[in-house]
Chains A and B, each alone.
Chain A
Amino acid sequence: MPAPTSPTPRPEETLRRTRPWFLAAGGLLALWMLLAMTLALLTTRHHAEITGELFGPLLLRNPLTYAVAAYVAAHAYVGRKLLQLARAARQTDPAEGRAEAARAFAAFWRVNLRAHLLLWSFLAAFILLTFLLRR
């Protein structure tokens, strides 16, 4: 006689169990953005100290500023959708919770892929352009 298998948990229950990881990933995403911004600001300040130029104009001329801005914009957009998914996963009402979770789940993955493809295309074009202009 085959061993009885445990029933698969309902989708909204599994999403609720994933919620702490959504929140932790969101927090880490914010830290990564902070790190990227710090990197752009510190390198610009370093150049400003060496060359004696003003910080503001130098920041606008630093290619890293634009790459970091694109990175932050894309991840802020994705992070917002991730928080919406985490909020939907908190719903306790079975029918309403499941419907909201399903909508948030599909919306998050659609936006996540779109934002990453846009970001990578921008970064690839930006790196190529910077490389070509320097030659």
Chain B
Amino acid sequence: MATDHPEAEAFRQARRPILFFAWLGLVGMTLLGLGALTWVAIMLTFFPDHIGALTGDTIAFCLFILIAVTSAAYGVRTFLALLRCGRHLAADGDLGLALEQHRLFWRRGTILSGLLLLEILGLMVVCP
């Protein structure tokens, strides 16, 4: 259902940048998740003894991978909201729904950014 107030066209001008940004974010987050899992696979294949021993390094490695994978998963969810926002911004889309997805994107993005910042600061304190 199209929203027909005169400013709707101005909102819809953001459609292309939003879709482009959403796809870039989705690809980036997927690469982050897959990269972290590939790293685990490489470590388990070539250095199984190192992973098997529960040293400080191993715990830090596992924590780092856990952070990367969970951030990637939440990041995909975040950018999916932006993708839905872009799709709703089409000429026959509902502007209200588009901006609701936009709100979800900012909410999730801020939470993700804050958690990542805290985790990085935590890692900097734990492993200086």
Contacts and interface: CB of A to CB of B under 8 A. Distances in A.
A14 B100 contact: yes
A28 B111 CA distance: 10
B10 A106 contact: yes
Interface in B64-99: 94-97, 99
B96 A35 contact: no
A25 interface: yes
B106 A18 contact: yes
Given A99-B7, A109-B18, A110-B17, A10 B114 contact: no
Nearest to A14: B99
Contacts of B10: 99, 102-103, 105-106
Contacts of B11: 11, 102, 105-106
Contacts of A14: 96, 99-100, 102-103
Contact of B100 (A9, A21, A110): A9
A22 interface: yes
Which of A21, A108, A116: most chain B Cβ within 10 A? A21
B20 interface: yes
Interface of B: 3, 5-8, 10-11, 13-14, 17-18, 20-21, 24, 94-97, 99-100, 102-103, 106-107, 109-110, 113-114, 117, 120-121
Interface of A: 8-11, 14-15, 17-18, 21-22, 24-25, 28-29, 31-32, 35, 98-99, 101-103, 105-106, 108-110, 112-113, 116
20 contacts: A8-B94, A11-B7, A11-B95, A14-B99, A14-B100, A18-B102, A18-B103, A18-B106, A21-B106, A22-B106, A25-B113, A35-B120, A98-B5, A102-B7, A105-B11, A106-B11, A109-B14, A110-B17, A112-B17, A113-B17
